[in-house]
Chain A
Amino acid sequence: MGNIPTSVKHCLSYEQLIQDYPWLGSRLQEEKEMVPTRVKIQLINMLSETGLPVIEATSFVSSKWVPQMADHTEVLQAIHRSSHARYPVLTPNMHGFQDAVAAGATEVAVFGSASETFSQKNINCSIDDSMLRFEEVICTAKQQQIPVRGYVSCALGCPYEGPIEPTKVAEVVKRLYELGCYEVSLGDTIGVGTPGSMAKMLQYVMKEVPSSALAVHCHDTYGQALANILTALQMGICAVDSSVAGLGGCPYAQGASGNVSTEDVLYMLHGMGIKTGVDLSKVIEAGDFICKALNRKTNSKVAQARSKSS
């Protein structure tokens, strides 16, 4: 009864690992305090020990806009890279891409939006213009054999425009994929999505791009993240973005939560018998470390429960 067994088997029989992308790099950029470089490095090193296959390390956006990531070169050069993991970095344009490569980056990411207004307000240009920028980056990256991941924000709603048409999301995803992104992550930027809107959006997107090239990046601002991730899994998606300890609040709703916690996602996946290759207790340790360093409580319910139970 129901669809769960099918999709779980699908993931298992194709031996596709669930890739978790703890957004520690970019999400630290939403934490108010400036995190010392050595703390970032230690966090990434701890995450490298957990078995996570992809860890977004930092961002090569100009430090004028994102001062928290000004130490991007130092971070990238100092981390111990595990042979089992990849360390993509954000590169909004050619300048950032070149700096990233010079600093030793071996994978990069570009950030598009399904909402025109969000694109204007966030990166100061239209979706079309942003694609031109990305095309340059992706072409150059291809020549240097550097894989590029694409992100599409506002996939389930925009803080300015409200609901976003699934056809628009599909269009933007398709463009990024055809430009050469090996994977496109669909972001519910303000966490307003529910399983209904997630299913609908994915139906449209999967008409244009194979599910094997898609990932979901759900925010937990309205508590819907795990239910939305479950829906995506049922539809064949096998890559999930998350953030250790649920780091990174929502810049559009002061004090509200943002990213879903890696710990909570893992708990669900492992409970369902889905392989991830990740050691949950080590992720919890990494979460404890960064929360202590930031002097704040974890947003992960699993971490809260584990630390409090007798």
Chain B
Amino acid sequence: HNVQDGASAGKTLPERVKIVEVGPRDGLQNEKTVVPSEVKIHLIDMLSEAGLSVIEATSFVSPKWVPQMADQVEVMMGIHRRPGVSYPVLTPNLKGFLAAVNAGAAEVAIFGAASELFSKKNINCSVDESLQRFEVVTKAAKEAGVPVRGYVSCVLGCPYEGKVSPDKVAQVAKRLYSMGCYEISLGDTIGVGTPGGMTEMLQAVSREVPVNALAVHCHDTYGQALANILIALQMGISVVDSSVAGLGGCPYAQGASGNVATEDVVYMLHGLGIQTGVDLPKLMDAGAFICCSLNKKTSSKVAQATCKL
């Protein structure tokens, strides 16, 4: 029966996985160094060349709160949009949405939380209030024919509340899905999750939202990301968020790592025979470029190993 386990673990994996590259937005937003617009644009262009089909380009949150993304319009206008590639941008409210569409955005994303305290501390309102705000955005987006992706943060734990109930995560995911988000990305914001918690949470959420509308956004703060992603794949998830070179530290644990590195995810997926459309050497070039610009070492183990052999 052990041999069966191994064989069936292989059988339940998706043939193809879509990678949502969040480096230029989530990654750069959480790096200390502010990067000039030309560098951001060049990074996004290199990522487009690497075969990624979704690249989160920038954020239309007020530059008061996120100065690293103040050049949002310039970036949107400056990137070379590859046919077949989507460049979603964050839009926290209607104002941001309108500015985004004006700047040429063809897809947007909204950010909810599964934790009340996190919602209050992060965006200054309760989960319910935030969902009401988002409903305004999804309505406007529907009218404009702009797809909306929803994010739920703290799905496996909250820096303030600690444990988060899987049912709460399911509730928030369901609301985002019902109001029109085509996909819900479930974020392990502080990277505390392990395969056990991931399984439980996905079981609860997939009762409310179809599995093909779900994605996982795992942080590698405790080194658990790839194991958590593997579990998610075994449960039918076929969309994975990651960040080139593992850009973006953890704002809740100074100096600790944050996003999982796209290179490491792609290495695992290709090793499993799963198609991604991504050219790993070109991806590593993009990673090398941005690390050079940020004057920092890559957080990707694949990149580290490959340079040194």
Contacts and interface: CB of A to CB of B under 8 A. Distances in A.
Interface in A185-215: 191, 193-197, 199, 202-203, 206-207, 211
B6 interface: yes
A59 interface: no
Interface string A62-79: 000000000000000000
A308 B191 CA distance: 14
Contacts of A196: 10, 271-273
Given A2-B234, A203-B6, A309-B253, A224 B222 contact: no
Given A211-B2, A309-B253, A1 B235 contact: yes
B222 A301 contact: yes
Interface residues of A, number: 56
Nearest to A257: B301
Contacts of B308: 253-256
Contacts of A2: 9, 12, 199, 231, 234-235
B196 interface: yes
Interface in B248-276: 250, 252-257, 261, 264, 267-268, 270-273
Contacts of B261: 223
Interface in A263-278: 264, 267-268, 270-273
Contacts of B144: none
Given A196-B272, A224-B267, A309-B253, A5 B8 contact: no
A305 interface: yes
B301 A222 contact: yes
B222 A264 contact: yes
Contact of A199 (B10, B222, B254, B305): B10
B146 interface: no
Given A2-B234, A271-B194, 12 more contacts: A193-B271, A195-B271, A223-B268, A223-B302, A253-B308, A256-B304, A257-B301, A257-B305, A264-B223, A264-B224, A301-B222, A309-B253
Which 3 pairs of residues, A with B, have the shortest CB-CB distance? Answer: A271-B194, A194-B271, A223-B301
Interface of B: 2-3, 5-10, 12, 191, 193-197, 199, 203, 206, 220-224, 226-227, 229-231, 234-236, 250, 252-257, 261, 264, 267-268, 270-273, 300-302, 304-305, 308-309
Interface of A: 1-8, 191, 193-197, 199, 202-203, 206-207, 211, 220-224, 226-227, 229-231, 234-236, 250, 252-257, 261, 264, 267-268, 270-273, 300-302, 304-305, 308-310
